[in-house]
Chains A and B, each alone.
Chain A
Amino acid sequence: MPIVDLYNERLSISRAPHIDYVQAIPSSYYIDPKACLRINYETCNLCAQTCTAQAIDFNQKPRKLNLDIGAVVLAPGFGRIDQSVLEKYGYGRFLNVVTSMEFERLTCASGPTEGHIVRLSDKKPLKKIAFLQCVGSRDETCGNGYCSTVCCMYAIKEASVAKEHNPDLDIALFFMDVRTQGKGFDASRERAEDKYGLRVIRARIPRVDQVDGQLALTWTTDDGKSHSELFDMVVLSEGLNAPEDAKAIAEIAGIELNHYGFCKTSVDSPLVASRNGIYVAGAFQGPKDIPESVTQASGVAAMASELLSEVRNTRTVTVSYPEEDKALASEKPRIGIFVCHCGSNIAGVVDVNAVRDYAGTLPGVVFCKDTLYSCSQDALKDIANKIKENRLNRVVIAACSPRTHEPLFQETLKSIGLNPALIEMANIRDQCSWVHSQEPKAATEKAKDVVRMAVAKAGLLEPLEQTTVDVSPTALVIGGGAAGMTAALSIADQGFECVLVERSDQLGGNLRRLVWTMDGEKASKVLDDLIKRVDGHPRIQVMLQAQVEAVSGYVGNFTSSIVKAGQTVVVDHGVIILATGGQEYSPKSYQYGKNNRVVTQLELEANLAKGKGILKNVKNVVMIQCVGSRGEDMSHCSRLCCTQAIKNALKLKEIKPNLRIYCLYRDMRTYGFSEDLFREARKKGVIFIRYEPDRRPQVIEQDRKIKVRVFDRLLKDEIDISACLVVLSVGIAPGGNEALAKIIKTPLTPEGFFLEAHVKLQPVELASEGIYLCGLAHGPKCLDESIAQAKAAAAKAAIPLAKGKAAVAPIISRVDRDACIGCGICESLCPFNAIRLFKVNKRRKAETITASCKGCGICASHCPTLAISMGGFTDEAIMAQIHAFAGEKCA
């Protein structure tokens, strides 16, 4: 019986037994109990009768389980904006008013329209789309006074995807402020605006009307002009609500919620709910994007690991493998090949059956088969069985990329006693069907060639020994600010030794200069608490006035030289955490440094902390945002300055309520719950004036007085504001990371911050294994975000430490000692110092340092006597591939 497909936002139909989407985990069908006829009316039962695996059991009943657990993590995500809020914008009345969630499904290739963006009213293509921001966010009338943080960027993304699909679309986006404060977000937004010609309009649309089947929008811009325009579709960028069951969760868990119904946390403990042992991650803690959610998820893992460090490894299950069948491996190659359809990903372009039949004709191949999804659990079982049944000793999987899937198939080989090196993958998806989708014949020919080359190599594969090395159970944390101290404490609390290196003469970093946190607490309290705990921790060794000069080694076995007071100390450690911080940007303009009435936000804080002296005779204060940031000197948004300015404006108002405060800004980016502070500042009379980047404000000194000149968009003229004090919201500059980046051989972003391995999914890992990242070294962020990220880095860093052993990939070089003439070319060329020369019977011979070798093969390609062979990439195997490439031409 058809039911609405909730995954596809009710835009298509599904059935009671269904799977939400093909990549769903676990990838098995489930039955919607609300729609099932058997459950509700005791009829039907068709599915149970037809399931050949007899996997459907209607006798199952809900069970109550009692589990002994030490920590609880709450990650229920976010809830949806109430329908009544959407209805204010015509949703429900006008079919072509859709939510951003619905639009997301429309743009998805596996969505209800296969990625074609159509009007829902008549399923016809459309021309003009408007995105309305802040639907259910920054809106006290619906109870959501906060900013949902993610909608500005996702609207830009959805608009870009739509334009990519249909370049003729005309897309307008209506913002109050453009809040793309995430790392790299401003750059992507600017690229998108530029590349796709997206129209950014600063206005809040109050309502949507329908005129002759089209949707009419009317708005006023901040230059006082009124506009109206017709659109084919209106997308409501709906915000993130607290989860629907937040109250129930809070009651069950015994925790407090904040005034918006999200989990209550504090700036210094952003991952801790109000009850011991209960942690929170993701949108339930406050609206946030994927990188921050993933970061928090790792962070709570660290918290749980700290709490449970004493019982680590007490309930583990060890996977055991059968002994390797060495006799079978040494037999003449019996190659089996499995050609994957990958659903329609490969089979939709490449003639998989033809490739399979062709593979069967290749020399050495004794078995061939096509599979629907080779990587699915049942297919892996089948592959294992076929290998055993046919006594295969070399396996070729023609499917996707070895970069992503080789480990999975290697595991299958291991599980049946075959050496994992005896597999070769032929990439007929990522580098064939996907990139030649319009040329099925040529793609099929290419797939055959690629398979032929893989088979040629497979015949020459040899078993390789998998070695492991012990891990030095110590972490090196570089940087002793809030992030570095938090990471060090977490590592130590998880039970591992930690060396904390700080270049200055005291711990604290930028936190030392902060006076109040965003939630109004004293920053010194957070600082003192961190320092006290670090100093008193038996497993943390603090090295002040120390700098890392050299790092060698690899995950599990790093050796670093640290210079302290002219002396070099050598430290062995298993992992590295980079927490080198950032620095306050020092402005070159706005009379900064020339006039002592022009100060930065941090200087203002420091002055206020000393007393009210700085406010003597001060009537007017002008704050200028984005000094140095967003294209002035630095291209990035410094993320925290808007909230910092508001925090200080409110502090000024608290001390001197009659003070006139002007804030000159481009976009007020008080994301998340900081929006409350922004609203409070407006209520208390702080005046906000928006400026465009091509008309930045000027600070003018005249007759010993200062005035700030700014273009007023409503008056269409420049106005002068006399200022007793000018406060510059200077951005966060990277902390001079170049030297360290060179030492650890890791890339920086164009802005000079460290680059993470994957922006969304590996936000605290570097591309080099065993090195992790947190705090301002990663990019500008608020204190609570730095603390959460430090916890996350500590969680990731603890993984190799807790395992105690690190596997060395067996693709390393091996020197044939008899053929080696000891010339030393390999040693001099090796970029990893992984080859050394030693003397055997007075003759020099080269030798690989197994644990340091990365398998690059520079040594092998330069050895004059061909004495060096690379695991999995031997000369013979590569030559065989070349000959197979040429086919009959090189018989």
Chain B
Amino acid sequence: MTAEVFNPHILGFFCHWCCYAAADAAGVSRYQYPPNVRVIRVMCTGRIDVRFILEAFGCGADGVFTGG
């Protein structure tokens, strides 16, 4: 094991109606989770073009999270 901790850079695509709402609700309830996800709000996960995901990985994302 190395001393360096893997600190992934994750891009999230959250559906406005469900996952984004759930992420807001997590905040209202003060649930705590690691600060590694950056969120792009979309009106539906159906909006996510495969190109978006490929672009994210191409730009160095360690992971892509789609929530909907």
A528 within 8 A of B: no
Question: Nearest Cβ distance between residue B3 and chain A, in whole angstroms?
Answer: 18
Given contacts A873-B43, A882-B52, A882-B56, whether A435 and B30 have CB atoms under 8 Å apart is yes
Cα distance, A402 to B51, chains bound together (Å): 25
C-beta contact mask, B47-63 vs A, less than 8 Å → 1, else 0?
Answer: 11111100110111100
A856 within 8 A of B: yes
Once the chains bind, are B42 and A857 in contact (CB under 8 Å)? yes
A325 within 8 A of B: no
Question: Nearest Cβ distance between residue A859 and chain B, in whole angstroms?
Answer: 8
**How many residues of chain A have a CB within 8 Å of chain B?**
43
Q: A430-B27, A436-B32, A881-B40 are in contact. List 18 more A-B contacts (CB 8 A).
A: A401-B24, A427-B24, A430-B26, A431-B27, A435-B35, A436-B35, A437-B30, A443-B35, A446-B38, A450-B38, A854-B44, A857-B44, A873-B47, A879-B52, A885-B40, A885-B59, A889-B59, A890-B59
What are 19 sample pairs from A and B whose C-beta atoms fall under 8 A apart? Answer: A431-B27, A435-B30, A435-B31, A435-B32, A446-B35, A446-B38, A450-B38, A854-B43, A854-B44, A855-B44, A856-B43, A857-B46, A857-B47, A858-B44, A873-B42, A878-B52, A885-B59, A889-B60, A890-B59
Selected contact of A453 from candidates B21, B38, B51, CB within 8 Å: B38
Once the chains bind, are B56 and A435 in contact (CB under 8 Å)? no
A860 within 8 A of B: yes
A666 within 8 A of B: no
- Interface of A toward B, CB cutoff 8 Å: 401-404, 427, 429-432, 434-439, 442-443, 445-446, 449-450, 453, 811, 829, 854-858, 860-861, 870, 873, 875, 878-879, 881-883, 885-886, 889-890
Once the chains bind, are B27 and A435 in contact (CB under 8 Å)? yes
Instruction: Classify chain B: how many residues form its interface, as a range.
Output: 20 to 34
Tally inter-chain residue pairs, CB-CB below 8 A: 114
Which B residues are in CB contact (< 8 Å) with A439?
35
Q: Is the interface of B mostly helix, strand, loop or mixed?
A: mixed
Once the chains bind, are B30 and A449 in contact (CB under 8 Å)? no
Question: Nearest Cβ distance between residue A590 and chain B, in whole angstroms?
Answer: 43
Once the chains bind, are A437 and B61 in contact (CB under 8 Å)? no
Selected contact of B46 from candidates A401, A431, A858, A889, CB within 8 Å: A858
Once the chains bind, are B38 and A434 in contact (CB under 8 Å)? no
Question: Nearest Cβ distance between residue A852 and chain B, in whole angstroms?
Answer: 15
Which A residues are in CB contact (< 8 Å) with B59?
882-883, 885-886, 889-890
Which A residues are in CB contact (< 8 Å) with B20?
401, 403
Q: Is the interface of A mostly helix, strand, loop or mixed?
A: helix
B6 within 8 A of A: no
Cα distance, A860 to B39, chains bound together (Å): 20
Residue of B nearest to A109 (CB): B30
Given contacts A403-B20, A450-B38, A879-B55, whether A886 and B61 have CB atoms under 8 Å apart is yes
Once the chains bind, are B39 and A856 in contact (CB under 8 Å)? no
Cα distance, A575 to B55, chains bound together (Å): 43
B28 within 8 A of A: yes
Question: Nearest Cβ distance between residue B62 and chain A, in whole angstroms?
Answer: 11
Nearest 5 A-B pairs (CB), nearest first?
A857-B47, A858-B46, A430-B27, A856-B44, A886-B59
Cα distance, A437 to B34, chains bound together (Å): 11
Question: Nearest Cβ distance between residue B37 and chain A, in whole angstroms?
Answer: 8
Question: Nearest Cβ distance between residue B41 and chain A, in whole angstroms?
Answer: 7
Question: Nearest Cβ distance between residue B11 and chain A, in whole angstroms?
Answer: 5
Residue of A nearest to B54 (CB): A882
Which B residues are in CB contact (< 8 Å) with A870?
43, 47
Once the chains bind, are B35 and A403 in contact (CB under 8 Å)? no
Cα distance, A434 to B61, chains bound together (Å): 24
Cα distance, A811 to B41, chains bound together (Å): 13
Question: Nearest Cβ distance between residue A115 and chain B, in whole angstroms?
Answer: 11
Which B residues are in CB contact (< 8 Å) with A429?
27
Once the chains bind, are A885 and B35 in contact (CB under 8 Å)? no
Question: Nearest Cβ distance between residue B29 and chain A, in whole angstroms?
Answer: 9
Question: Nearest Cβ distance between residue A398 and chain B, in whole angstroms?
Answer: 13
Once the chains bind, are B60 and A890 in contact (CB under 8 Å)? yes
Which B residues are in CB contact (< 8 Å) with A856?
43-44, 46-47
Once the chains bind, are B30 and A434 in contact (CB under 8 Å)? yes
Given contacts A861-B47, A870-B47, A886-B61, whether A437 and B42 have CB atoms under 8 Å apart is no
